[in-house]
Homo-oligomer: A and B are copies of this chain.
Amino acid sequence: MPADPVPNAFYAQSGGVTAVINASALAVIETARNHPDKIGQVYAGKNGILGALREELIDVSRETPEKIKGLLTTPSGAFGSCRYKLKGIEDNRAEYERLIEVFKAHNIRYFFYNGGGDSADTCQKVSEIGAKMGFPLQAIHVPKTIDNDLPFTDNCPGFGSVAKYVALSTQEAALDIASMCATSTKVFILEVMGRHAGWIAGAAGLAARSEAEAPHIILFPEIAFDETRFLAKVEQTVEKFGFCVIVASEGTQTADGELLSGSKSRDAFGHVQLGGLAPKLANLIKQAHGYKYHWAVADYLQRAARHIASQTDLDQAYALGKAAVEMAAAGENAVMPTIVRVMDAPYEWTIGRAPLNEVANQEKLMPKSFFTADGFGITDEARRYFAPLIIGEAYPPYRNGLPDYVTLENHLLAQKLPTDNRW
């Protein structure tokens, strides 16, 4: 009688992608190979969890070693990601049963889900339903979100690179305005991501080493927007320094929770789709003070900016993917590896763990102690937190003047189940 085959692993990317999520994928693939007695193949979901529901499993072993190595330096989700939130088990048991069927068919006993808060919730549910259905799975969540809003971890892979991009973009644009403000633009607004938490906007504060330096004003979702105070601060800044640079979180809102951007369209998770805040702020300023303005909306450029990724961020993304597989190989389940900060300066960190049932559906906002008294800036405590996350330039290779990013072949495994068109 042959020995039971070594069980396989499923890996999927979820939600908004980042500059370094593929480094976590690479770590999962490489680390799994170090445990041939425990883990057989790594199959990746085509377009995230949908790949499991549709039985569209990517056979990672068919990629060339060069392409797999290229994951370290390629932004975005190389296997496709998705915005698809599994419903509660009671609401849609069929969906979970389908997942288990597919996993059974391909002898998949490890579930690595690389995402943010919503994905941690899904990961927890998959672990529960597997147990209930008598097909125990080890579900490990690999944290990733540019929003930096997961609890228990010092920070989230993807964030450090956005933080670096946003801080240096603010620094560069501010030099431009400083050199032009005598006769031209007086106000510059950079709109950045951040629906509910101001981490990204806050990190832009690293560009300022003194009150005179940009950004002069940061708008956070956590601090109620007060038009009068804002406009007064803009005017004071222009009068004092000749120009004013503003970094605004897309989720900036008034005390009664009204988003300044005002858009009402929603994505699949029910989140409001934002954008358009920067021109709105510019218009307010123009009407109040008449200053010439410019504005930029970084949008996807900020989270895809692998060309200037933070080395610290890249190292942590890899370390968390690696830790996830090692936890699985050690028999752990329903857990998420975390970054534990040992020291601010010099920055020291290590890997910790958090139980998934405590992680899911929590959002970590910026603490009060990170905001200056007027709410328009960050404190030294915040600086100590942000500073190490942007250290190091993890440059990709270039070819013909552009980054030499890889595109995988993404060969699918032969399907073993009848086609199911529900997904």
Contacts and interface: CB of A to CB of B under 8 A. Distances in A.
Contact of A179 (B78, B183, B297, B401): B78
Given A74-B175, A82-B184, A183-B83, A167 B402 contact: yes
Interface residues of A, number: 73
A169 B299 CA distance: 11
Given A301-B169, A301-B296, A308-B307, A76 B176 contact: yes
Interface in A181-195: 182-184, 188, 190
B300 A297 contact: no
Nearest to A19: B172
Contact of A297 (B81, B171, B296, B304): B296
A341 interface: no
A207 interface: yes
Interface string A13-35: 10011000000000000000000
Contacts of A78: 179
Interface string A61-86: 00000000000001111111111100
A82 to B, nearest CB: 4
A295 B306 contact: no
A17 B267 contact: no
Contacts of A402: 164, 167-168, 171, 206-207, 390
A129 B13 CA distance: 67
A275 B295 contact: yes
Interface string A383-401: 0000100111101001011
A56 to B, nearest CB: 10
15 contacts: A17-B179, A48-B183, A74-B175, A80-B179, A171-B403, A172-B405, A176-B300, A176-B303, A207-B402, A275-B294, A276-B279, A295-B299, A297-B297, A310-B401, A390-B401
Given A77-B179, A164-B402, 20 more contacts: A47-B183, A48-B183, A76-B175, A80-B178, A80-B180, A82-B180, A83-B183, A168-B307, A168-B402, A172-B300, A172-B304, A173-B304, A183-B268, A206-B400, A278-B297, A297-B297, A301-B301, A387-B400, A391-B401, A395-B395
Interface of A: 13, 16-17, 47-48, 50, 74-84, 164, 167-169, 171-173, 175-180, 182-184, 188, 190, 206-207, 265, 267-268, 273, 275-276, 278-279, 292, 294-301, 303-308, 310, 387, 390-393, 395, 398, 400-403, 405
